[in-house]
Structure 1
Amino acid sequence: MSSHNETHSGPGGSDAINTEIITLTRFLTEEQTKHKEATGDFTLLCHSLQFAFKSIAYYIRRASLINLSGLAGSANSTGDDQKKLDVIGNDIFISAMRSSGCVRILVSEEEEDPIIFNEYPNARYAVACDPIDGSSNLDAGVSVGTIFGIYKLAEGAQGTKEDLLRPGTDMVAAGFTMYGASSELVLTMKDGPVNGFTMDAALGEFILTHPNMQMPKKRHIYSVNEGNSLWWADPIKEWCNSMKVPEKEGGKPYSARYIGSMVADAYRTLLYGGIFAYPADKKSPKGKLRILYECAPMSMVFEQAGGQAVNSKMDRMIEVVPESIHDKSGIFMGSYDEVQKVIDIHNKHKR
């Protein structure tokens, strides 16, 4: 039997050629054939998402060259200064979701109200997204990304924002992209494995590079903005302090890693383990991150990769029902044992 990897030597050295590459397109097609009842709509929706990610990645790579990253002068629904790239990312997303013909409702971080595609009254999906998360970091060349969750509408759904005020457990798929040194896409379907894809710029395709991602059960890395510690509740202060002062004599303190771009912090935590936290505090009693398009999709990814995700009340994050489409929450997500430590300290304080 011949191998699919051939090695060709040339003046530039040798290069192993893999002819058995699994692209995202191929992956989605193969997934669809596993479901006899599939209509192909979900696959079509994922192809439209893929196009949006590729487009955004392209514009981010060119941004500093053609001056796209300066402020657009308007503030978005959550008060962030809106960058021109935010607007572009948002427009790309709206256009991709509309043209898929499978999406009835789109909630975007950049839009006060949900976008209802009345031209497709029978479309069965709703999408929630943060088109360019971490955009305040763009000018510094820090990785930004897109976070998304996909819901299937209930039978008889009227196509209103109330159709999306549901827990993350109702999502059919979720994930995020990170536009960094390379463009990475992390995707998971409900109750399925977490798969990581990397953009191959030469082919213009996302390639499956991290099949079935599983997080380490514990890791001594924490990622949190300690600048907010003045406003933290006691259990959080105790938790944070416990990572710097090991219980055992001669124990090592945790390493601190905080980028301040959720997708970048999440991707690193997913790969290496540890914990990412953005707790609610006295200054932001509800928390800062949005449930529908930041916390819920990340929770699904982290749980299905073997980790945990909880809110500041220590409720399982993916079960939390948002009260409005831009509702906020605190979050702790990461390796199973690291999140458990936070839960244990909170339970101790309750007693």
Structure 2
Amino acid sequence: MDREQVAEQIFQAVAQAAPHIRSGLLHRREYVGEENPSSERQMEADVWANELLKEKITNIEGVGELASEEEEEVIQCGEGLSISMDPLDGSSNIPTNNLIGTIIGIYDKELPTEGENIFEAFYVVYGPLISVMRTEGDQLNEYVLEEKSGDRVEPHLASEDIRIPEPYVYGFGGNRNWTEDFRKFHDEISEEMKLRYGGAMVGDVNQVLHQGGLFAYPARKDAPEGKLRLLFEASPIAYIFKVAGGASTDTEQSILEKEAESLHERTPLYLGNKKLIEKAEKELN
């Protein structure tokens, strides 16, 4: 089985699971009293979605290993592609019924590795509709999932060959502990664009991909290494932005060039139009 076929099976597996994940949140909105490997509080939904997607993905022929934000170590499951997964991005939004998502990266190399080794990436947004932003070759395509009878899910191509438009919106996280340099950078950006920030990376980057602009979760006074995980969040989304004609940085280099030294490594993250990424590197490096 070639890697395109494996990637298609992964996409279909996650697409079929997505409505079950959204409906399953109803009775899984509490914290379980434990932390994930990144020392973040786990919700019942985090644990459940991780187990559901893990079972589906590791049983696909051509998947060699799976790394999840909710798992300490890489799960070996055969020979083939390496998969990174954030089962429920933004799960702290669940109690207030705000946006959450799922992020998948498909790599040609064993994990941890650089984002340059991503072959395909996609993310799911659980909103009024369930949508998927998926790279396919040199295109970024958006699908909307329709539930059919018999638990069947049909992906409909909603937008093809998406290109990031001219800047219009921005979303910056971690504002209580911004550095002075970043606060000045924010003040400049806020005069030019509208704020759109919802606390779930998938929702915020989805705004930027559709409307143009900049998403950032920078290095902070209390977290100079950043907050977002390189393998599970930053690299797959950076790859998506690259395919859409955008760019990424940690203010020193492209996220896709950044060497992954550990599985749960964190990074500062900037995603958006190329000229805004250049501005961030110039003013914040």
The alignment's TM-score, normalised by the length of structure 1, stands at 0.76
2:93 matches 1:133: no
2:54 matches 1:57: no
SS in structure 1 at match of 2:186: helix
State how 1:336-347 maps to structure 2 within 5 Å.
336-346=274-284
Cα pair distance change 1:133/1:258, threshold 3 Å: same
Please tell me the residue identity of whatever aligns with 1:77: P
What's the CA shift for 1:224?
A: 0.7
2:27 matches 1:79: no
SS in structure 1 at match of 2:39: coil
What's the CA shift for 1:194?
A: 0.7
Match for residue 106 of structure 1 among 53, 56, 66: 66
What's the CA shift for 1:226?
A: 5.8
Please tell me the residue identity of whatever aligns with 2:282: D
Contact 2:7 2:120 in 1 (8 A): no
Cα pair distance change 1:128/1:244, threshold 3 Å: closer
After superposition, the C-alpha distances for 1:136-162 in whole angstroms (9 at most, x for unaligned) are: 101211111111111124xxxxxxxxx
Match for residue 263 of structure 1 among 202, 205, 216: 202
Q: List runs of 5+ in structure 2 lacking aligned partners.
A: none
What's the CA shift for 1:97?
A: 1.7
| 2:159 alignment counterpart | 210
Distance in 1 of aligned mates of 2:10 and 2:164: 29
- Which of 1 and 2 has greater Rg? 1
Cα pair distance change 1:326/1:298, threshold 3 Å: same
| 2:256 alignment counterpart | 318
Distance in 2 of aligned mates of 1:319 and 1:328: 14
Aligned length: 282
Match for residue 50 of structure 2 among 78, 90, 104: 90
2:232 matches 1:232: no
State how 1:36-51 maps to structure 2 within 5 Å.
39-51=1-13
Cα pair distance change 1:51/1:225, threshold 3 Å: same
Distance in 1 of aligned mates of 2:18 and 2:260: 28
| 1:124 alignment counterpart | 80
Match for residue 115 of structure 2 among 155, 164, 168: 168
SS in structure 2 at match of 1:100: coil
SS in structure 2 at match of 1:321: coil
What's the CA shift for 1:165?
A: 2.6
Cα pair distance change 1:41/1:333, threshold 3 Å: closer
Cα pair distance change 1:344/1:200, threshold 3 Å: same
What's the CA shift for 1:59?
A: 2.9
After superposition, the C-alpha distances for 1:92-126 in whole angstroms (9 at most, x for unaligned) are: 12111221122121100000111112xx3xx2111
State how 1:239-254 maps to structure 2 within 5 Å.
239-245=185-191, 253-254=192-193
| 1:300 alignment counterpart | 239
SS in structure 2 at match of 1:164: coil
CA RMSD of aligned residues (A): 1.8
2:160 matches 1:222: no
What's the CA shift for 1:270?
A: 0.5
| 1:184 alignment counterpart | 131
What's the CA shift for 1:70?
A: 1.7
The alignment's TM-score, normalised by the length of structure 2, stands at 0.92
What's the CA shift for 1:233?
A: 4.6
Contact 1:172 1:189 in 2 (8 A): no
SS in structure 1 at match of 2:133: strand
Contact 1:60 1:85 in 2 (8 A): no
What's the CA shift for 1:304?
A: 1.1
What's the CA shift for 1:74?
A: 1.8
Distance in 2 of aligned mates of 1:41 and 1:346: 39
SS in structure 1 at match of 2:235: helix
Q: List runs of 5+ in structure 1 lacking aligned partners.
A: 1-38, 154-162, 246-252
Cα pair distance change 1:306/1:48, threshold 3 Å: closer
What's the CA shift for 1:343?
A: 2.2
